[in-house]
Amino acid sequence: MPVDGLKARGTFSRPVLAYDPRFIEHVSSPLHVERPQRLEAIVARLVAEGLFTDVLAPTPAALPEVRRVHRATFLEFFRDLKEGFLDPETAVHPETFDIALLAAGATLQTTRAVVDRGSPAVALVRPPGHHAGPDYGGGFCYLNNVAVAAADQVAQGRRVAILDYDAHHGNGTSEIFADEASVLYVSTHQYGIYPGTGAAEDVGMGEGRGFNVNIPFTAGCGDASFHAAYDEIIEPIVRAYRPDVILVSLGVDAHYRDPLTSLALSSAGYVDLLARTARLAKDVCGRRLVVALEGGYHLPALAEVVAGTVARLRGSRIDLELTQAIDLEGKGRPAIEATRRAHEAFWNLR
């Protein structure tokens, strides 16, 4: 049965994509790193690999759906601004609000489809969302796409795990669900860069204590560190939490070729991390896995990681070129141990 707001262009036999050409129309400012060519490069690679199929067309999120995570005053300010800035790198133009609503709608509708059908999907959206909080945007983000999708599932009585593999801490997502036990937020990020949040000791508050998990990596952490964090922190916590659906905030800016950060994941490291997450979703929540695009600013790395992920979700592989393994010994050990100490009261991580 078709899901509300999604028009099928293809069969439902395989994991699907969500995409809309309007996502290309978002231009924050000329020469901005969060640029239309990011999504164009992803689509071009998917087309070249024969993977740009089963693409669902989204509709904009409705205001009540967005109000679950953003305050009405912020939404009115953003909608009425027309030209201005949410922060110096997050410019608003007359079309920005509508495109941001479409990105949020795409992520929400993809999640509903995944939950209904029990197979994974990838939401190819711009602008990204994880830095947008209850009453602010910033860091190239306007509305928090993944948070809107998660809150929609919580409203239907479900428990959601959000795994944020972007190189930056998702301060917006973290704050939105800080006191919420129905959403588990787990973030791997380079600690100390923008936005400055995401210490291991920030475990959430009130009912949400223990459900906010930060793994604060330092420069140079790559494949060995991320996979150790996955083995020792992420998978055990997700298995214990038993979510009904897993949402991944997929930023590809932890890649060693990314110009914005100093993390060092390879393309193979990334795709394996997503493939392992998909197996986890198969085990704990009936393949209900949504991968939503966040950052990632080196176009070939971004394109091959996303296409490689789509291929693996469909049971195939593509050739990856940016596979230099820089972090072999696991430089992230201190970060993993800090997370373990911060969470030993909440989870069995031994």
Query: Cα 221 vs. chain centroid, distance in angstroms?
Result: 19
343 is a catalytic site residue: no
Kindly tell me the burial class for residue 72, based on how many C-beta atoms sit within 10 Å of its own C-beta (0-12, 13-18, 19 or more).
Answer: exposed
What is the smallest separation between the CB atom of 253 and Zn ion, expressed in angstroms? Answer: 4
What b-and-e string marks burial along 111-133, b requiring 16 or more CB atoms within 10 Å of the CB?
bbbbbebebbbbbbbbbbbbbbb
274's tokens: 């997503």
d(CA 73, CA 44): 39
What is the smallest separation between the CB atom of 199 and Zn ion, expressed in angstroms? Answer: 17
Taking the least distance from each CB to Zn ion, the nearer of 251 and 332 is 251
CB–CB of 211/185 below 8 Å? yes
Residue 255 touching Zn ion (CB under 5 A)? no
Q: What is the sign, positive or negative, of the torsion defined by CA atoms of 342, 329, 281, 176?
A: positive
Residue 253 touching Zn ion (CB under 5 A)? yes
Select the residue interacting with Zn ion from 166, 175, 232, 327 (CB under 5 A).
Answer: 166
Residue 120 touching Zn ion (CB under 5 A)? no
233: number of Cβ within 10 Å: 22
Select the residue interacting with Zn ion from 5, 127, 208, 251 (CB under 5 A).
Answer: 251
Taking the least distance from each CB to Zn ion, the nearer of 130 and 159 is 130
Taking the least distance from each CB to Zn ion, the nearer of 166 and 202 is 166
Non-local CB neighbours of 93 within 8 Å, separated by 6+ positions: 27, 82, 83
What is the smallest separation between the CB atom of 334 and Zn ion, expressed in angstroms? Answer: 22
Taking the least distance from each CB to Zn ion, the nearer of 111 and 188 is 188
d(CA 276, CA 273): 5
Residue 204 touching Zn ion (CB under 5 A)? no
Residue 168 touching Zn ion (CB under 5 A)? yes
Residue 295 touching Zn ion (CB under 5 A)? yes
Taking the least distance from each CB to Zn ion, the nearer of 175 and 253 is 253
Residue 198 touching Zn ion (CB under 5 A)? no
Q: Residue with the closest Cβ to Zn ion?
A: 295
Name the active-site residue from 70, 130, 131, 168: 131
Specify the DSSP element, H or E, that contains 39: helix 36-48
> Which residues belong to the active site?
131
Q: Which residues bind Zn ion (CB under 5 A)?
A: 166-168, 251, 253, 295
